[in-house]
Amino acid sequence: MKVVVDEKIPYLQEPLRTIVDDVVTLPASDITARAVSDADALIIRTRTRVGESLLAGSKVRFVATATIGYDHIDVAYCLKHGIRWTNAPGCNASSVCQYVECALRLMQHEGFLSLSGSTLGVIGVGHVGSLVRAMALRLGMNVLCCDPPLEEQDPGKYVFHRMEELLERSDVVTFHVPLTYQGAHATCHLADKAWFYQLRRQPLFINTSRGEVVDTEALKEALRLGLVRQAVIDVWENEPLVDRELLSLARITTPHIAGYSADGKACASQMSLDALSAFFGLPRVSVPPLPLAEGPYDIDADSRRLKASPELFEQLRNHYPIRRE
């Protein structure tokens, strides 16, 4: 049995080699149709687009992405051709919540806002958003939740608010939605020019979901005009390219690492291993114990590194230091 694995997925290769006889690790850029033609399974990240151009004519029967998001997988193609795919929902939710809390605490330390008594608008209250909601309540913040798909599915789970009310009342707005392009609740460019013009309290703007959820040009205009007082940006349209103007306008800018704690990565790897073992009837194996971090998380250091060298986006992401939750 042959499994092709993105070489940047940590804590995975050692246990995988104990149950699979042929494990091939490759950079994401080298996971091509030729490379996977005789593979039985793939374990990937968001940098590998999975669909007909990659899988046509291959032996691949199973694809695991060690990420929450799966917009890089052509789900319809996999379903049509009997290819099982899995993602890792919630794997790094605690990591993203840690990132958001550190951003909020830094902004309070710099006098931007007082957390106690201020209002946080959470757009998307799934795995990540629900933890952010609980964290904000613990910090003494008021929380407004907006999640139309969840509200339709489970209207009694939270007190939900209309987007218009959230934009009127929030001192901080944070996005935790998947990237979707179709349907009544599509999220691509959800935060567009009209959206920003509905803001009433010049909030702190945080995006750790997907870059395309936000219209970059609209966000830059909102920052220049003061509709948004400040921004925390971890995800970017057209990654790994970084909009240099937004980089300079936003207070905190990082290379898509909000979910990159060692704990979150290990959880994603474990979920991928479990799914592969279950599909192929292999023994369950566990990721190795995690190393200790060198110190508490410094979100500002991450921001300084990207601001200094935006051209190193992928390098900063691929060689991210150990960070424990």
Write the secondary structure of 124-180 as one string of H (helix), E (strand) and C (coil): CCCHHHHHHHHHHHHCCCEEEEECHHHHHHCCCCCCECCHHHHHHHCCEEEECCCCC
Cα dihedral 251, 255, 261, 267, rounded to 10, equals: 140
Catalytic residue of the set 133, 161, 229, 256 = 256
pLDDT beyond 90 at 317: yes
pLDDT beyond 90 at 123: yes
Q: Which two tokens stand for residue 20?
A: 């699979």
What pLDDT, on a 0 to 100 scale, did the predictor assign at position 16? 98
What pLDDT, on a 0 to 100 scale, did the predictor assign at position 166? 98
Domain co-membership, 111 together with 31 = no
> What pTM, to 2 d.p., does this model score?
0.89
What pLDDT, on a 0 to 100 scale, did the predictor assign at position 258? 97
**Residue 210 appears among annotated catalytic residues:** yes
What pLDDT, on a 0 to 100 scale, did the predictor assign at position 137? 98
pLDDT beyond 90 at 253: yes
Percent of the chain at pLDDT exceeding 70: 100
Kindly indicate the confidence band of residue 293, based on its pLDDT and cuts at 50, 70 and 90: confident
> Are residues 90 and 112 in contact, defined by beta-carbon separation less than 8 angstroms?
no
Domain co-membership, 106 together with 192 = yes
Q: How far apart are CA 16 and CA 12, in angstroms?
A: 6
Domain co-membership, 28 together with 99 = no
Compute the residue count for the chain: 325
Catalytic residue of the set 45, 47, 176, 210 = 210
Mean pLDDT across the chain: 97
Domain co-membership, 74 together with 205 = no
Could you read off the pLDDT of 45-98 as tens digits, one per residue?
Answer: 999 999 999 999 999 999 999 998 899 999 999 999 999 999 999 999 999 999
What pLDDT, on a 0 to 100 scale, did the predictor assign at position 179? 93
Does any domain span residue 285? no
- Tell me how far the alpha carbon of residue 46 is from its chain's centroid: 10
Does any domain span residue 216? yes
Give me the CATH number covering residue 267. 3.40.50.720
Catalytic residue of the set 7, 168, 239, 325 = 239
**Residue 189 appears among annotated catalytic residues:** no
What pLDDT, on a 0 to 100 scale, did the predictor assign at position 200? 96
Residues 6+ apart with CB under 8 A from 257: 99, 234, 302, 316, 317, 320
Domain co-membership, 83 together with 100 = no
Could you read off the pLDDT of 6-34 as tens digits, one per residue?
Answer: 999 999 999 999 999 999 999 999 999 99
Domain co-membership, 175 together with 102 = yes
R_g of the chain computed on alpha carbons: 20
Does any domain span residue 220? yes
Domain co-membership, 122 together with 58 = no
What pLDDT, on a 0 to 100 scale, did the predictor assign at position 288? 95
Of 235, 253, 271, which residue constitutes the final position of a domain? 253
Kindly indicate the confidence band of residue 295, based on its pLDDT and cuts at 50, 70 and 90: confident
Kindly indicate the confidence band of residue 246, based on its pLDDT and cuts at 50, 70 and 90: very high
Domain that holds residue 77: 2-88+261-280
Domain co-membership, 11 together with 69 = yes
Look at residues 208, 206, 178 and name the one whose alpha carbon lies nearest to residue 68: 178
**Residue 152 appears among annotated catalytic residues:** no
Tokens 């995690």 sit on residue: 290
Average pLDDT of 144-152?
97
Domain co-membership, 103 together with 235 = yes
Domain co-membership, 116 together with 244 = yes
Domain co-membership, 63 together with 123 = no
Does any domain span residue 314? no
Give the chain's domain count: 2
Domain co-membership, 204 together with 174 = yes
Q: Peptide bond preceding 240: is omega within 30 degrees of 0, i.e. cis?
A: yes
CB under 8 Å, gap of 24 or more: what pairs does 233-236 form?
233/207, 234/99, 234/207, 234/208, 234/258, 235/207, 235/208, 235/209, 235/210, 235/211, 236/211
Does any domain span residue 115? yes
Kindly indicate the confidence band of residue 291, based on its pLDDT and cuts at 50, 70 and 90: confident
Does any domain span residue 159? yes
What pLDDT, on a 0 to 100 scale, did the predictor assign at position 69? 86
pLDDT beyond 90 at 195: yes
